[in-house]
Amino acid sequence: MKYDNIERAVFRSRPNRFIAQVDLQGHTETVHVKNTGRCKELLVPGAEVILEKSANPARKTRYDLICVNKSGRWINMDSQVPNKAAVEWIRKGGLFPEEVTVKQEKTYGNSRFDIYVESEQRKAFVEVKGVTLEDHNIARFPDAPTERGVKHVEELIRCMKDGYEAYLLFVIQMKGITLFEPNWNTHPAFGEVLQRAQKAGVNLIARDCLVTEDTIEIQDPVEIYIMERNHA
């Protein structure tokens, strides 16, 4: 996936979840942050960031903050892009070898999954989670408690009872990651539901992404470790 009309800037502050102050071409600009997560380890004063200029002249903020440079590594922090990248990747044959039909935001019972995939061989639901939290090349999810995320995984387990295949795809929005694991310190319940999902037969997949200043593309598999570690 490619962005248009990007510009480099320097992050200064984040007054609230939705906006940030950056230095852009010698002046302070208020920009929209396309990620309401905490991202405290990413958005540090002085960090180089990438902005995308909006095509909507009526917007209050002219730019979206989409990418940040952490220790020389570009990390995409656009929370809307993992689903788009996943659809692109699945349509190119990244998940299944056969030709498939891909639908987004598919309703199942009282649930709505990110992606529904159908072919002559299968009917599958795919739930996508974007991952931006990294520490010593280990990626973790979530970066804040997510009861909604727990519910999504429980619904994946449920749909398998009706004969659907179920996939939980963690899109790690950077390269250079050696391992993915649930963030036990932040939300133990998410780690527990991942363990239940794996036992039930939900396919857990983690992939890294090639991230440049204006592109993101799902690439290589990353090992998943879902056992709780002793953090004492």
CA atoms within 13 A on the CB side of 82: 26
The overall pTM is greater than 0.75: yes
And the tokens for 145?
């408690």
Model pLDDT, residue 229: 72
With respect to residue 46, please indicate whether it lies within any of the assigned structural domains: yes
* Whether residue 86 sits in one domain with residue 198: yes
Residue 226 domain-assigned (yes or no): no
Considering the domain boundaries, does residue 229 fall inside one? Answer: no
Residues 47 and 101 both lie in one domain = no
pLDDT classification of 40: cutoffs 50, 70, 90: confident
Give pLDDT tens digits for 100-146: 999 999 998 878 999 999 999 999 999 999 999 999 999 999 988 89
Same domain membership, residue 87 and residue 60: no
DSSP3 helix / strand / coil % (the chain, rounded to 5): 15, 45, 40
| 159 lies in some domain | yes
> Does 200 share its domain with 164?
yes
Residues 142 and 51 in one domain: no
The residue out of 30, 53, 76 marking a domain boundary is 76
Give which of 78, 23, 11, 17 is closest to 47, Cα–Cα: 11
Establish if 231 belongs to a structural domain.
Answer: no
What residues make up the domain containing 123? 81-221
CA-CA distance, 82 to 88, in Å (whole number)? 10
Residue 102 and residue 39 share a domain: no
Question: What pLDDT was estimated at residue 232?
Answer: 41
At 230 the pLDDT is 63
Give pLDDT tens digits for 74-83. 999 999 999 9
Task: Return the pLDDT at 96.
Answer: 95
| Domain end (from 39, 60, 76) | 76
Beta-sheet strands, E only, within 94-158: 101-108, 111-118, 123-131, 133-135, 138-141
Residue 231 has pLDDT above 80, yes or no: no
Segment 198-212, tens digit of pLDDT:
999 999 999 999 999
Gap between the Cα atoms of 219 and 163, Å rounded: 29
Same domain assignment for residues 180 and 136: yes
End-to-end CA distance of the chain: 41
Q: Which string of b and e fits 3-26 if b means at least 16 CB within 10 Å?
A: beebeebebbebeeeebbbbebee
CATH for 165 = 3.40.1350.60
Q: How many whole angstroms separate alpha carbon 90 and alpha carbon 224?
A: 20
Instruction: Using the predicted structure, report yes or no on whether residue 228 has a pLDDT greater than 90.
Output: no
**120 and 12 in a common domain:** no
Sign, Cα dihedral of 103, 132, 183, 39: negative
Q: Which of 76, 92, 110 is the endpoint of a domain?
A: 76
Whole-Å CA distances, 48 to 14, 68, 82, 192, 213: 14, 6, 22, 36, 11
Whether residue 156 is found in the same domain as residue 192? yes
Decide if 92 is inside a domain.
Answer: yes
> Can you give the CATH number for the domain in which 26 is found?
2.40.50.580
140, two tokens: 């973790």
Name the domain count of the chain.
2
36: confidence class by pLDDT, cuts 50, 70, 90: confident
Report how far apart, in Å, the C-alpha atoms of 27 and of each of 19, 67, 139 are: 16, 19, 34
67 and 177 in one domain? no
Q: What is the mean pLDDT of residues 12-32?
A: 95
Does one domain contain both 93 and 204? yes
The pLDDT tens digits of the residues spanning 49-73 come to: 999 999 898 999 999 999 999 999 9
Instruction: Examine residue 27 and state whether it is found in any structural domain, yes or no.
Output: yes
Give yes or no: residues 47 and 89 share one domain.
no
Evaluate whether residue 227 is within a structural domain: no
Burial class (CB in 10 A: 0-12, 13-18, 19+), 53: middle
Q: What are the pLDDT digits (tens) for 151-179?
A: 999 999 999 989 999 999 999 999 999 99
Phi, psi of 150 (to 5 degrees): -60, -45
Answer for the pair 10, 47: CB distance below 8 angstroms, yes or no: yes
